[in-house]
Amino acid sequence: MTLLEPADVPLAGISAPIVAAAVLLAAIAIFSYVMLRRIQLLRAVLPDPRFSEIGRRIWLAIVYGFGQARQPRYLGAGIMHILLFAGFVILSLRSLTLIGRGFSSGFHLPLMTGSVGFAYEVLKDYVVLMVLVVCIVAMVRRAVFKPARYQHTGTSKGHGAEAYVILGMVSALMITDMIYDGSALAVGGHTSGAALFPAASLGAAFMGAASQSTLSVLHVAGYWAHILVFFTLLNYLPISKHFHVITAIPNVFFAKLNKGGIKPVRWGVDDWMELEECGVGRFEQFTWKHVLDFYSCADCGRCSDNCPAATVGRALSPRMISIKARDYVYEHYPVFSANKDPDDKPFTGNIVTEQEIWACTTCGACEQECPIFIEYIDKIVDMRRYLVEQGEMPVSLQKPLQQIKKKGNAYGATKTKRAEWTKALEGIQVKELQPGDATDTLFFVDSCGSFDPRIQEISKSFARILHRSGVEFGILGKDETDSGNEIRRLGEEGLFEQVSSKNIEAFQAREFREIVAFDPHAFNVIRNDYPVKFPVTHASQMLARFLEQGRITLKGNYLAGRLVTYHDPCYLGRHNGVYNEPRAVLGRIPGMHLREMHRSFTRSFCCSGGGPLLWYENEEEKERMGERRVKMAAEIGAQVIVTACPFCLINLEDAVKTTGNEGKIEVIDLVELVDRYLA
Amino acid sequence: MDIIVCVKRVPDTSEADLAIDKGGKDIQKGGLDYDINDWDRFAIEEAVLIKEKTGGKVTVVTVGDEDAEEMLREGLARGADEAFLLWDESFEGSDGYATAHILAAFLKQRSYDLVLTGTLADDDCGGQFGGMLAAMLGVPVATLVHKIEVKNGSITVRRELEAGLSERLDIDLPAVVSVATGINEPRFVSIRAVRKVASIEIPTVDRGELGLDEADVGSAGAKVEIEKVFLPPEGEGAEIIAGSPADAAARLAEILKEKGGIA
Amino acid sequence: MKTIYVLAEHRQQHLRDTTWDALAAGRDLAQKTGAELACLLLGSGVDAMADQLAKECPKVVVVDDPRLANFNSEPFVKTLTGLLAGQDSYVLVIGNSNSIIDLAPGLSVALDAALATDCIGFEVDGGKVKALRQIYSYKVNALVSFKGASRIVATLRSGFFSFAPSGAAPGAIEKVASPLGDEPLRKRFLSYVEAEKGDVDIASADIIVAIGRGIGDEEDLSMFESLADAMGGVVACSRPIVDKGLLPKYRQVGTSGVEVKPKVYLALGISGAFQHLGGIKGNPLIVAVNKDPRAPIFRAAQYGIVANLADVVPALEEKIKELKG
């Protein structure tokens, strides 16, 4: 016995295919219009060149878009998402099939006939059940266990209900499918048993007692309910936080490829100084990719969960920037009414507050974590550029920047004394390279290594190592200027251009094979931001190479059996992918006992930033990031924290004292440690 | 409200190692960085903040040669509308009195509601300019002001006294107000902000245009003269007060009393 | 010089210490130049203060006018100009204070006198008075001459002139009618405003009691507040105290905190990291108490005590109260 198929049952006297066509057309029309509005905005905002390296982009889309490779960083939620996404992909064929069945009762997609079609039917039935289970688990998880990272902070209206709406609709899709298929199964439409069609069988079991006429109504009603929910869901996506279902894969495809670098003030503009306004003050000054980011945020909270600023109580929560920005779009660029005039108050400083904007250390933990590659640093830098133009900058940062402007370093020291630290080196003459001089390795000391008494120790250690390695090297001395990594990230682009061009000029006036810096910030900015490219190496990479080549050998017992942990500096690890070389160097140290902290490699925890950020004072934080980091080291029983960044060193040494770990934990730079072991 | 801000360019001596010049009447200034006197930065900011509230115009003016132009340009970048450089070779060697004389001559040629300046300059540490200027202009003055409220035809200011005490004064306009550091948070001036005001012309006004006699300006017009300068003998670190804690404390109390450490 | 005048400063009917500084300097100058010494006391209802001054000064000139109750520079300048009109060959010595900064420069112009502010000493050379001042962030001493001026106004840095009772017979009190006319003042005193406790501005404080990590686990700061009150100063701190949440951020001295320009800086349990010392400007007298004799603060300080704070601070406060009488 079989039931009448929906296509064969007129609805209120209208033949089903006509109803199906009407529903389909209406849904597509609305959806197209909504998408058109959303795309209109993307076309109205500022340009952003994202079409280079298509091969790499396709690869990203495959691995991180379809492959969901970042999802398992949160294992439970990640697996659930992968299951849902897989279900979504598999069941999309089913949905297309069902749409077709409104027109013709025997509709099949091409190739979906015979055994392939049967296999798909079986697969789909399992997936339906799986998706339903995942949805229920997800709802229970949100309702009962309330993971902290889903909580909204700040003033924005909550979006928690949207999650239930979408999970409810997906569940409804599964249940209507089960009613549709189950009713057919219940009247014996299928010959196979429960093992092949668990979802349908479950549906059938619920409806087992129903009469045939009831079943036939359920069969048709289930179908139409499914179709209606499907199209409602489709149209709900671009007006909710679930837009990511549509935009996530394009967002991954258009991801930023030059990690570590900062975007120019405006793409496609030769002289930004000539611009009327610079940076992002109004929302419309974001680039289209940045707006696409806002569309795409799924509100999963992973960025903020990993944000060190958020962790210590600063005002920043990266996720809220996306959420508030999308709320702004949905409010000011509504789908069914005219665009609203921008408010009197600019976006920056109001929707996103100054406290949020200055709280960021640009450590990149948020971007590393985002499953769909939403960017934050460039946006924050763009907003800072606007604020700086308005004269707004935290007082604690103004002084170091003014010093850099006047003297080329934040320490307020005279530039002629930049090479003074070398005088304390016994038996080593460090060559101050003059214009026209040639050498093998140009040691870029940077302001911190030249003037900070603590960091000078690293400079000396590195000079000793270079000397021992036999490599010919020299420094720029008085011709060196602050590298400018933080200056650029604090939004003072004019000053960045000033310092970088001075350094570029100094580089170009000398011959060398490579530049080496022990400060990852200097390494990063020369590598990723300087408009002229020079070969640049981080000290840890050079040390690894020296050890590999046997240029230096290590001997001694400085660590004396103490347990060591390694702290990955943000600008070495996350921004430049240098994770292995420092560990390779540590591996060469006799008697090394290394234990990783729970947060290491890509999940390393920022210790509050380098350069002028050393002077930055945050009013809201309840704890200093460095203190949090030292506690993480203490948790695993580490007695020595090795890092490869002078600012991490300063911050962590400070934190060791303030957390009462003085005498219990030593902080040392990798370069210093190697120096202690020089045979 | 039209506000004229008088500023001064000074060498940054607070962090530098200083040495006495061969002549013995000044310090060696070769290696020093110059910048706007810190107190005057607050005066410009205050003027711009008042302008933003009440409208009007902010003018920045200094007595100095072309080296001072960069400082004035920074003032424009902070939001001032115009700037003037008062310079004539005969102005060289002016003390606080002669400088006040020059600026008074400039101000008498213009209309203004309020003159703002910093209370103290870090080079001569005199703290005299605002008061002298006001007296020469015949208008009231308040120094060490850390709050200004603009009213109709007058202002109410708060000025700092000692030990956390302030006084509130009502002052008729026009007036001279010397501000204290900390009256506001001066805005950050980016390289671009300075670049944006690069095209504003800063006129130089000379002695003739100000109608001043040579005898009134420069070292001739100065009321005081530096005979010699010298570095105070440098202490080799702290003198450690010996004895039991109680005895040491008693001795310390006497030292504090002697040195003005008890208000 | 014929006359050395000393202007008495008072607030709320009490002579301020600056008056005695000025009297000490005036007495010394009178002796060296052979000039007469006279005190000028301008105020409202000042008899008690006049008597107090007469004990130490051969002549006290008193002007009693309600408009002189507060140190409003406008009536003060007018009165003093009236008093000294037509006179020549005098030095008017005034202890420097925040009220006097408002007064002295305008007064010097009104008197057509030469002015030296914030003097730390005087030299008399062949009858000519020269003043010692500090310039360039108070790091350089300068000897200043007055180009033969016969009218000189000098204000004095407190702590550089120490007063001792003379034991001489009481001087005469001469009451002078107020030369102030009826024209309305263009500058009107409204009220005193006490800083709220939570509203302390350390940047402008002359006397600072700064505490640092060396206070140990002590969470009760009343001992330090009470010392600061006795000294007439305010409590400031270094970073660790802010980190512990004991004091708010705006009380932190340092390159990353507030820059201060006090006259006296008492550092209690502060080690003296350069970030902290960088926030202390204007070359104050630094006095340090720390139990670590090698603390770098002792290199920056002029006086130091190596001891536990708990042993020193209460004793210090007691002695200070005793000295204040």
Check pLDDT > 60 for residue A190: no
* CA A97 centroid distance within chain: 37
Task: Judge if C204 and C167 occupy the same domain.
Answer: no
Contacts with B222 from chain C: Cβ below 8 Å: 147
Using CA coordinates, name the residue in chain B closest to A487.
Answer: B190
B193 contact residues in A (CB cutoff 8 A): 389, 391
Question: Is the domain of C211 the same as that of C107?
Answer: no
- B35 close to A (CB below 8 A): yes
Residues paired with residue C62 on neighbouring β-strands, in sequence order: C41, C175
What DSSP letter does each residue of C27-91 carry, written as one string? HHHHHHHT-EEEEEEEESS-HHHHHHHHTT-SEEEEEE-GGGSS--HHHHHHHHHHHHTT--SEE
Nearest-Cα distance to chain C for B166, in Å, is 5
- In 3D space, the residue among A199, A376, A395, A235 whose CA is nearest the CA of residue A293 turns out to be A376
pLDDT value for C47: 92
Contact A619 C240 (CB under 8 A): no
Q: Partners for C (CB, 8 Å, 3+ pairs)?
A: A, B
Reply yes or no on whether the pLDDT at A238 is more than 90: yes
CB pairs under 8 A between B and C: 311
Is C315 close to B245, i.e. CB distance below 8 A?
yes
Could you state, in order of their start, the residue ranges of all structural domains in chain B? 2-221
| Residue of chain B nearest C78, judged by CA positions | B135
Higher per-residue confidence, B177 vs A407? B177
Domain that holds residue C119: 3-176
Which residues on A lie below 8 Å from B44 (Cβ)? none
Question: Is residue A386 predicted with pLDDT exceeding 60?
Answer: yes
Write out pLDDT tens, residues B142-184: 999 989 999 989 999 999 776 557 899 999 999 999 998 878 8
Q: Tell me, what DSSP letter sits at residue B235?
A: P
Tens of pLDDT along chain C (325 residues)?
Answer: 889 999 999 988 889 888 998 999 999 999 999 899 999 999 999 999 999 999 989 999 999 999 999 899 999 999 999 999 888 899 999 998 889 999 999 999 999 999 999 998 999 988 889 999 989 877 788 999 999 889 999 999 876 787 888 777 788 899 999 999 888 999 999 998 876 655 677 887 889 999 988 887 777 788 999 999 899 899 999 877 876 778 887 888 876 668 888 889 999 998 877 668 878 877 788 999 988 777 778 878 889 999 888 889 999 999 998 887 7
Min mean pLDDT across A172-186, A381-395, B171-185, C159-173 is at C159-173
Q: Length of chain C in residues, anyone?
A: 325
A contact residues 261-300, partner B, Cβ 8 Å cutoff: 273, 278
Q: What residues of A are in contact with residue B185 (Cβ under 8 Å)?
A: 395
**Cα–Cα distance for residue pair B42/B178, rounded to 1 Å:** 10
Instruction: Point out the least confidently predicted range of A258-272, B76-90, B201-215, C169-183.
Output: C169-183
- Report yes or no: B253 at the C interface, CB cutoff 8 Å: yes
Q: Which residues contact C310 (CB under 8 A, 6 or more apart)?
A: C223
Which stretch of A181-190, A488-497, B5-14, B99-108 has the lowest confidence by average pLDDT?
A181-190
Q: Which residue has the higher pLDDT, B242 or B202?
A: B202
C187 within domain boundaries: no
Chain B interface disruption, residue of A389, A411, A617, A619, most B CBs within 10 A: A389
CB burial of C260-280 (b: ≥16 within 10 Å; e: otherwise) equals: bbbbbbbbbbbbbbebbbbbb
Angstrom distances, CA of residue C310 to CA of A658, A670, B252: 22, 42, 15
Flag whether residue B199 sits within 8 Å of chain A, measured between CB atoms. no
Question: β-strands C151-156, C114-119: how paired?
Answer: parallel
DSSP state of A341: P
Task: Based on the fold, state whether residues C228 and C106 are members of the same structural domain.
Answer: no
Question: What is the percentage of chain A residues whose pLDDT exceeds 90?
Answer: 78
CB atoms within 10 A of CB A583: 20
Asked, as a colleague might, if the bond just before B174 is cis with ω within 30 of 0, I would say yes
The pLDDT, as a whole number, for residue A197 is 87
Chains with at least 3 CB pairs less than 8 angstroms from chain B: A, C
Q: Indicate if the pLDDT at residue A155 is higher than 60.
A: no
pLDDT at position A192, please? 56
Q: Report the pLDDT value the prediction gives residue B235, as an integer from 0 to 100.
A: 57
* C18 and C143 belong to one structural domain: yes
The average pLDDT across A267-286 equals: 92
Query: Do both C164 and C201 map to the same domain?
Result: no
A615 chain-C contacts, CB cut-off 8 A: 255-256
DSSP 8-state secondary structure symbol assigned to residue A155: S
CA distance C49 to C41: 8
pLDDT digits (tens, 9 = 90+) for A81-102: 999 999 999 999 999 999 999 9
Number of domains in chain C: 2
Instruction: Say whether pLDDT at A72 is over 80.
Output: yes
pLDDT at A1 over 70: no
d(CA C44, CA C67): 7
AA letter at A115: S
The answer to whether residue C102 is domain-embedded is yes
Q: Can you give the pLDDT at residue C196? A: 60
- Report whether CATH 3.40.50.620 matches the domain B2-221: yes
Q: What is the Cα–Cα distance from B148 to C70, expressed in whole angstroms? A: 20
Q: How far is C8 from chain B (nearest CA, A)?
A: 16
Q: Does C137 contact chain A (CB < 8 Å)?
A: no
Q: What is the ipTM of this complex?
A: 0.88
Closest approach of C53 to chain A, Cα-based (Å) = 48
CA of residue C64 relative to chain centroid, distance = 24
Which domains are delineated in chain A? Answer: 6-146+161-253 (no CATH), 278-389 (1.10.1060), 406-549 (3.40.50), 563-676 (3.40.50)
Residue C222 CB burial class (10 angstroms; 0-12, 13-18, ≥19): exposed
Interface of B with C in 13-42 (CB under 8 A): 13-15, 18, 20, 27
Q: Are A35 and A27 in contact (CB under 8 A)?
A: no
DSSP assigned state of A321: H
Task: Report whether B208 contacts C125 (CB < 8 A).
Answer: no
pLDDT higher than threshold 80 for residue A401: yes
Is C303 in contact with B238 (Cβ distance < 8 A)?
yes
Q: Which two tokens stand for residue A174?
A: 């599964």
Tell which C residues from 33 to 52 touch B, by Cβ distance under 8 Å. Answer: none
Do C217 and C84 lie in one domain? The reply is no
Indicate if C128 and C276 belong to the same structural domain: no
What pLDDT is stored for residue A157 in this prediction? 62
C94 and C230 in one domain? no
Q: Is pLDDT of B4 > 90?
A: yes
What pLDDT, in 10s, does the model give residues A494-536? 999 999 999 999 999 999 999 999 999 999 999 999 999 999 9
Condensed to tens digits (0 to 9), the pLDDT of residues A537-585 reads 999 999 999 999 999 999 999 999 999 999 999 999 999 999 999 999 9
Q: Which of A617, A624, A658 sits opposite C249 (nearest CB)?
A: A617
Using an 8 Å CB-CB cutoff, list residues of chain A that contact chain C: 396, 399, 453, 615-617, 619, 624, 658
Would the CB atoms of B245 and C264 count as touching at under 8 Å?
A: no
Whole-number mean pLDDT of chain A? 93
Give the closest-approach CA distance of A387 to chain B in angstroms: 9
- Taking the CA of residue C308 and the nearest CA in chain A, the distance in Å comes to 20
Q: Whole-prediction pTM value?
A: 0.84
* pLDDT score at C21: 87
CATH code of residue C57: 3.40.50.620
- Cβ partners under 8 Å of residue A227, min gap 6: A20, A23, A98, A99, A102
Quick check: helix, strand or coil at residue A244? helix
Pairwise CA distance, residues A50 & A268, whole Å: 13
B227 interface with C at CB cutoff 8 Å: yes
Q: How far is CA B105 from CA B5, B59, B136, B207, B222, in A?
A: 15, 15, 9, 9, 15
Neighbours of chain A (3+ CB pairs under 8 A): B, C
Q: Report the pLDDT value the prediction gives residue C256, as an integer from 0 to 100.
A: 62
CATH number, domain with residue C289? 3.40.50.1220
